[in-house]
Amino acid sequence: MSPLPLGTMGRVLEVDLTSGSARTHALDERLAELFLGGRGLGTALLVERLLRLRDRHRNPFLAVDPLGPENPLVLATSPANGTSVPTSARFHANFKSPLTGGIGSTNSGGRWGVEFKRTGHDAMIVTGRSPHPVVLFVDAGGARFDAPPEADLDDVEAITDALEARYGRGVRVMTVGAAGRRLAPIAAIMNDKGRALGRGGGGGVFGSKNLVAIAVAGSVPVEAASPEALRPKNVTGSVYKAHVKLRLGKLTKPPEQFGILPSMGTAGLLGMLSQYDELVHCNFRDTSHEAERIERIGGEALASHPAITVRRRACYQCPIGCTRETELVDASGAVVGRGEGPEFETVAMFGANLDIYDLEPITEANYLCNRLGLDTISAGGSIGALMEIFGIAQAKPAEARTDGERALMADAAEFARACGSRVPDGPDGDRFAPAFGNAHALVPLVRAMAWGEGEIGRALASGARRLAERYGHPESAMAVKGMEIPAYDPRVTWTQAMSYMITARGGCHLQGGYSAPIAFCAGYGEFSGLKSEGAALVARNFAYQNTAYDVLGVCAFAGFSVTLDEYANMLNDVTGLGMKASDLEAVSRRVLTLERLFNLLCGFTAADDWLPGRFYQDPIAVEEGTAVCPEGDFRAMRAEYYESLGWDERGVPHAATLTELGLDAVLPAEDFERMTGLTVGGRARNGREGAR
Ligand code: SF4
């Protein structure tokens, strides 16, 4: 076994909230070698912890309640966190997801992860449920349990302010708001006030533990193997070279050279994606937007809006600085709110997706999501499904509506009354009708969702899939594995579609490869994203790349300009390892395969690697004709993707793959077979083939 690489702290903090105990143990050298950090280490620790429950459950992956005390919440950092490696702020959370029932996996930037690592820990595993609300405080001396602050415990900002006042300004706070405290499956964990571990319902898991906050104050330096090479001003060093690449990249070059991310923030992507017919519209009905309407909500509009003040901000060690801190005032000049964002996904999912082209309600809804702890992609996707079904019901005479549609109209009337409307004729035409284009309804809907208020609020908080089933239109949920997909239409970019389909955590544009904006970077005509031939392998390579970023703890945006080879060089200067890009890709394959095993243990099959039906059935108009996802092509691409990873036609890894990747040491094939009834590399014992 290799000794631990430099850049790691060598310790894992274990917290049991039921007994109120915390202890530290050594980081397993074998796991550090196989998975490095971040998403890889977090997934491995989660798997290891769930396997320990086999004395209680035949298959703990299936049996453990995501919102119960047995579900571990793992927070993992990476060797590069806390060093001068550009964008090395990102840390990871893993858990069993209350939204999908499979792996929960999400990362965040800001400063919390770096500060936590500087307490002398690589990871934290939180289990149990505290008998009373509690704050966990961690520093280099260890962990202790403190009383919650005298503050509104539903408000992320109030909790953060109170804990910063209690522990000192250097402290970094992670918490959840109203949505997490009410166990919403689309609740986010928030850190540094405005940064989110957003996807998959980690906020609900956090809240289910009666955990109010985790405050961290670090003081332990992170050691590196070649500090000189990491000095940003050393012109022969790896970090200097990466900075040069970032200064030249089309999306990352400095604001004065109009790099989109530095000059406009992520909202600057909106116009570009709309131009290429990729941008969601009305719950993925089409991608048609009038250019003039997009201009009202894009990056330039945000930067120059008379009611919104914008300041550029950055995560730890990030020269890109895509973050926008904003303040919104009303017509009288009174402050409506302030905070981080809105980011691209928020503007797209609350704006273009809902046919709302007004930055003021979008920005206010964004602040609410920050303060009350909601994932804005899932929130926008859930409202999109609601508005679509409302439109279907509204178009019918009352007597022709189905039971689900009648329930929705009744719930919409209740919602409108709660908003103070007189509802003279029910929700039709009402000021608060949950209809596409109705900007008045947006902020009240987000508030109801976060607080779980009323039938509509509870339905929205449960996510698009459960909402659409409740109202009798499951086809309106634009979700994969139960997680709402982001703002890029898969019919227009098939590699991005593959990421949505196959990513273990559900409908996601990042973990399976963020290829949608590449059309812009690479030159649209050169990009193979729309061709079935090769698209699966292109998608697989993007998945390797983005998984490597998550393992390294760096931002995917830096990957637009800095290659994996260059990141491998920086990692080597931190760790002293001699890794190449291909070694990082091997780690990525190991992580993707372990995530696959996790989901198979949770009962997922190849049928879950599939897009919502409309993407196969309903072509959309694009500049050069129409675009759709042909089912036959997509089945073939899925099979090719599986094969390229060493998985069989069911998406079950071959025994040889597990051995090659060293995964036997983490999850023995025999244990996997016993728990699932599946055989690795052969036919299913119980006849479940899984593939559609
Ligand atoms: S590019 Fe943006 S999200 Fe990424 S590290 Fe920099 S500021 Fe944070």
Q: What is the mean pLDDT of residues 556-580?
A: 95
Q: What is the mean pLDDT of residues 658-669?
A: 95
What would the DSSP string read from start to end of 573-630?
HHH-----HHHHHHHHHHHHHHHHHHHHHTT--GGGS---THHHH--EEETTEEE---
Q: What is the pLDDT of residue 423?
A: 61
Q: What is the mean pLDDT of residues 111-129?
A: 98
Q: What is the pLDDT of residues 280-315, one digit of tens each?
A: 999 999 999 999 999 999 999 999 999 999 999 999
Residue-range domain boundaries for the chain:
11-217, 262-480, 489-560+580-676
Q: How confident is the model at residue 683 (pLDDT cuts 50, 70, 90)?
A: very low
Question: pTM of the full predicted structure?
Answer: 0.95
Question: Is it the case that residue 234 has pLDDT exceeding 50?
Answer: yes
Q: What is the 3-state secondary structure (H, E, C) of 326-369?
A: EEEECCCCCEEEEEECCCHHHHHHHCHHHCCCCHHHHHHHHHHH
Q: When comparing pLDDT for 691 and 239, which is higher?
A: 239
How far, rounded to the nearest angstrom, does the alpha carbon of residue 27 sit from its chain's CA centroid? 26
CATH of domain 489-560+580-676: 1.10.599.10
Least confident of 6-15, 106-115, 533-542, 657-666: 533-542
262-480 and 489-560+580-676, same CATH topology: no
> What is the Å distance from ligand 1's center to 536 Cα?
28
Q: What is the mean pLDDT of residues 228-248?
A: 96
Q: What is the DSSP letter of 467?
A: H
Q: What is the pLDDT of residue 389?
A: 98
Tell me which of 192, 323, 343, 546 to substitute to probe ligand 1's pocket, judged by most ligand atoms within 8 Å of the beta carbon: 323
Is the Cβ atom of 160 under 6 angstroms away from ligand 1?
A: no
Residue 134 tokens read as: 């509690």
* Cα separation, 456 vs 622, whole angstroms: 34
Q: What is the mean pLDDT of residues 416-436?
A: 78
Nearest atom of ligand 1 to the alpha carbon of 555:
4
Residue 435 tokens read as: 């209809």
Q: When comparing pLDDT for 661 and 560, which is higher?
A: 661
649 neighbors 571 (Cβ within 8 angstroms): no
5 neighbors 575 (Cβ within 8 angstroms): yes
Q: What is the pLDDT of residue 275?
A: 85
Q: What is the pLDDT of residue 251?
A: 85
CATH of domain 262-480: 1.10.569.10
Q: What is the pLDDT of residues 1-32, one digit of tens each?
A: 568 999 999 999 999 999 999 999 999 999 99
Sign of CA dihedral 580, 582, 587, 588: positive
What is the pLDDT of the chain when averaged over all its residues? 93
Neighbours of 532 (CB within 10 A): 16
Q: What is the pLDDT of residue 688?
A: 42
Can you name the CATH fold of 11-217?
Aldehyde Ferredoxin Oxidoreductase;  A, domain 1 (3.60.9)
Q: What is the pLDDT of residue 422?
A: 65
Is the Cβ atom of 109 under 6 angstroms away from ligand 1?
A: yes
Neighbours of 146 (CB within 10 A): 15
Residue 422 tokens read as: 């007189």
Q: SS3 for 483? A: strand
Instruction: Pick the residue whose CA is nearest to atom 4 on ligand 1.
Output: 555
Question: Is it the case that residue 168 has pLDDT exceeding 90?
Answer: yes
Peptide bond into 342 cis (omega under 30): yes
Q: What is the pLDDT of residues 624-649, one digit of tens each?
A: 788 999 999 999 999 999 999 999 99
Is the Cβ atom of 555 under 6 angstroms away from ligand 1?
A: yes
CA count, 13 A, side-chain hemisphere, 70: 16
